[in-house]
Amino acid sequence: MKKKIVAMLLTAAMATSMAVPAFAAEEAPIDLTGIDVENTTIGIAIYQFADNFMTLYREELVDYLVSLGFKESNIMVQDGKNDQAEQTNQINNFITAGVDVMILNLVQSSSAPQVTDLCNEAGIPVVYINRQPDEAESDRWVAEGIKATYVGADARQSGTFQGEIVLETANKGDINGDGKISYIMVQGDPENVDAQYRTEFSVKALTDAGMEVEELLLQRGDWDQAKGQQIVQDALTQFGDQIEVVFCNNDAMGLGAMQSILAAGRVVNEDIYLLGVDALTDALDNIIAGNYTGTVFNDHISQAHEAANEAIKFLKGEEVAPINMVDYAKVTTDNAAEVLEMLK
């Protein structure tokens, strides 16, 4: 199993701007008293196996559950194939199979009320991960005593950190010195709250710091590397040297953007900045190599462990808070090598 990690190791230079707790090599032991771990069944539904970040997440989640003593043969993991109808069918199959708890990464977070009701009627607790149901839904869990919770990270923080990385450069993102930051935004799924918040708060960090901004392009990339590459290729053709900053809602699209930036002869950190989210290893390698300005560590390890721990609380009949958040952390050339080593 991968190293047990509760949070990022902070560098001294960045400590003032992060609310992430200090690195810890080991987590407190989980009390499994009263749980028949060898016979407990767990249903896990992932929106799409092809997603790089969710692949890391689900692998860590299964590894962690197995390390606690749950049998891998009793952990059922399904690929929603980015199709909510397909995923709802998988959830119904979990119900028919009588799983003891579900951990769900919904294709569409707007489906949470329907899915919650299905699980609640079957008497199965549910832990939602990565894609947050809206506030009205989580409020309903509390009001109606429904055994449901959400584990994730506040995407507003990740967007803010992207903007702060730009502000921490020597020219604060204003490469051509014209008094404004001209940027393009490669967005994930605009219906996804993470995409919405990362898009909004990356720019808000700039304007809150008193910077003038100019949006040259906002285009949907669906979290996909090939789409990110095409969007940025076309944008570079259309806007050329006007583009000073490329914001991408995730590293998959960011890595695609990087391919187009390098192919166009642009020099990252000299005549253009490139930002992503997730801290994929390829992104970290390219930060170290100077081809990528920075990313934001979306801590799949702590999130996966927290999701499992909340599921265990449900199995033990304990009270579970409706929302459980894990912090993000900024990654630049200052700490990328350290983060990469930690993730190996």
Give the integer Cα–Cα distance in Å for 220 and 196: 11
Q: Is residue 219 within 8 Å of residue 253, measured between CB atoms?
A: no
The predicted structure's pLDDT at residue 21: 32
The predicted structure's pLDDT at residue 28: 74
Count, residues in the chain: 344
Give the integer Cα–Cα distance in Å for 62 and 248: 29
Sheet with 323-325, edge to edge strand ranges: 75-79, 42-46, 101-104, 126-129, 148-152, 323-325
Which residue ranges in the chain fall short of pLDDT 70? 1-27
Give the integer Cα–Cα distance in Å for 86 and 208: 42
Q: Is residue 70 left, alpha or beta, with left meaning phi > 0 and alpha meaning psi from -120 to 50?
A: beta
pLDDT tens figures, 7-21: 443 333 333 233 333
- Which helix (H) or strand (E) segment holds residue 151: the answer is strand 148-152
**pTM of the predicted model as reported, rounded to 2 decimal places:** 0.81
pLDDT tens figures, 293-330: 999 999 999 999 999 999 999 999 999 999 999 999 99
Q: Is residue 241 within 8 Å of residue 176, measured between CB atoms?
A: yes
Give the integer Cα–Cα distance in Å for 264 and 234: 11
Residue 326: closest CA among 151, 199, 156: 151
The predicted structure's pLDDT at residue 23: 37
Residue 20: closest CA among 7, 5, 35, 33: 7
**DSSP secondary structure letter of residue 233:** H
Q: Exposed/middle/buried for 288, CB within 10 Å: 0-12, 13-18, 19+?
A: middle
The predicted structure's pLDDT at residue 146: 98
The predicted structure's pLDDT at residue 330: 97
The predicted structure's pLDDT at residue 26: 54
Q: Is the dihedral of CA 128, 130, 131, 136 positive or negative?
A: positive
**Residue owning tokens 């810890």:** 24
The predicted structure's pLDDT at residue 27: 66
**Residue owning tokens 């899915």:** 115
DSSP reduced 3-state for 173: coil
Give the integer Cα–Cα distance in Å for 166 and 294: 9
**DSSP secondary structure letter of residue 268:** B
